[in-house]
Amino acid sequence: MEAQYIYIGLAAAFGLFMAWGIGANDVANAMATSVGSKALTIKQAILVAAIFEFAGAVLAGGEVTSTIRKGIVDADLLSDTPELLVYGMLAALLAAGTWLLIASRNGWPVSTTHSIVGAIVGFAAVGIGVDAVQWGKVGTIVLSWVVSPVTSGFIAYLIYRSVQKLILSQEDPLSKAKRYVPVYIFLAAFTITLVTILKGLKHVGLTISLRDSYILAIVIASGIAMVGAFFIRRIEPDKKADKDQHFYTVERVFGVLMVVTACGMAFAHGSNDVANAIGPLAAVVSIASTGTIAAKSSLPIWVLALGGGGIVVGLATFGRHVIATVGKKITQLTPSRGFAAELAAATTIVIASGTGMPISTTHTLVGAVLGVGLARGIEAIDMRVVARILVSWVVTIPAGAFLAIMFFFVFRAVLP
């Protein structure tokens, strides 16, 4: 009985640490374009993330989460020794959290999904046996390293080229911005609402047919676009600032749009990626409580709240490092460029959830920022920063695996 409380206590502590890492690294990605383009200050970004990430995690973060994330491990092999899975999941949480701490400290935007996947693969291969790992699943995850950034980069390139053509290169860019930005707001709101419905609401037990999902997304997006249009119409040109900075007022119009995309991305991210921290935690709580391995484990609300809270604290305390890399160092962002990157990332996530393509929010957003940079020419991108980011992506799975193997042996030796 005492062991049960030790397991749950450690799982809660490591789950909180992992959620903190997601906040420090992943949420910083979702907010980086808004901060880098100066549409939001860092304090405003933390406030937006606090409200929408927490809401996404608690409201749509999963009534039921698969005990073993993404089906990477064959759980049947552990039915006689559930304690091995407990050690493994504890090791995976601690390993992924540790790697996220190292990466966030250095400002590397890495994938939290891949960190936890690497950690689970590591403990499973060593603790259970190489056959226990579903290597095909790991292969599709590696494939996503290429697919996510290329898809979102291409979409971001097209979106930003359309902004240049329809607005920035016109005789009267402000009047064109006031005409077209509500359309972009509609597209952004539609895409992000669809992400939330397709990825988030199924967790809550609400099943909405695909046709109804699209209708609901169109209705909500139309409402948001009307509100956006109302605020945009009230923006008056600032002649003095426009003289110093050619598109100053136009970028203010896009600033309204960035706030919409930032809120939506935070909600979608909270509902989707909180599972990386609470999936293994839910597994440990379930095994400790029942003594058996269930295919699905129900999720107490305190676990969701712990995940959401950890994410917010992570962003507030350590998020600035990754925000600086993605928002400022890859390429110079303005609200119009940042919007193109966020809309491209959200669109890629919608395509991925519709087709089952494995995806990383981080890789998607970094690819989108690169796409916007390319639309201005290759010299607009700092290739040294990009090279460092790519190396950190490749290292993530082996680093997670190595740390998890180490922690697994420690737990097996020390824990009851």
Residue closest to 105 by CA, chosen among 386, 318, 394:
318
User: According to the model, what pLDDT value does residue 71 have?
Assistant: 63
Do 362 and 25 contact (CB within 8 A), yes or no?
A: yes
* CA within 13 Å, CB half, 409: 8
- The answer, yes or no, to whether residue 260 has pLDDT greater than 50, is yes
Q: Which of the two residues, 359 and 202, has the higher pLDDT score?
A: 359
Q: Is 72 helix (H, G, I), strand (E, B) or coil?
A: coil
Q: What percentage of the chain has pLDDT greater than the value 90? A: 8
How confident is the model over 91-138, as pLDDT tens digits?
Answer: 989 999 999 999 998 888 888 888 888 888 888 888 777 777 778 777
Residue closest to 119 by CA, chosen among 145, 139, 90:
90
Question: 373 CB contacts (<8 Å, ≥6 apart)?
Answer: 330, 331, 380, 381
Q: What is the pTM assigned to this prediction?
A: 0.80
User: According to the model, what pLDDT value does residue 94 have?
Assistant: 93
Range scoring the smallest mean pLDDT among 86-100, 121-135, 137-151, 291-305? 291-305
Residue closest to 412 by CA, chosen among 93, 123, 133, 4:
123
- The answer, yes or no, to whether residue 167 has pLDDT greater than 80, is yes
Q: What percentage of the chain has pLDDT greater than the value 70? A: 86
Question: 219 CB contacts (<8 Å, ≥6 apart)?
Answer: none
Residue closest to 336 by CA, chosen among 200, 162, 197:
162
Residue 109 vs residues 120, 293, 335, 346: alpha-carbon distances, Å: 20, 34, 21, 17
Dihedral sign computed on CA atoms, order 366, 359, 156, 32: negative
Q: Which of the two residues, 407 and 272, has the higher pLDDT score?
A: 407
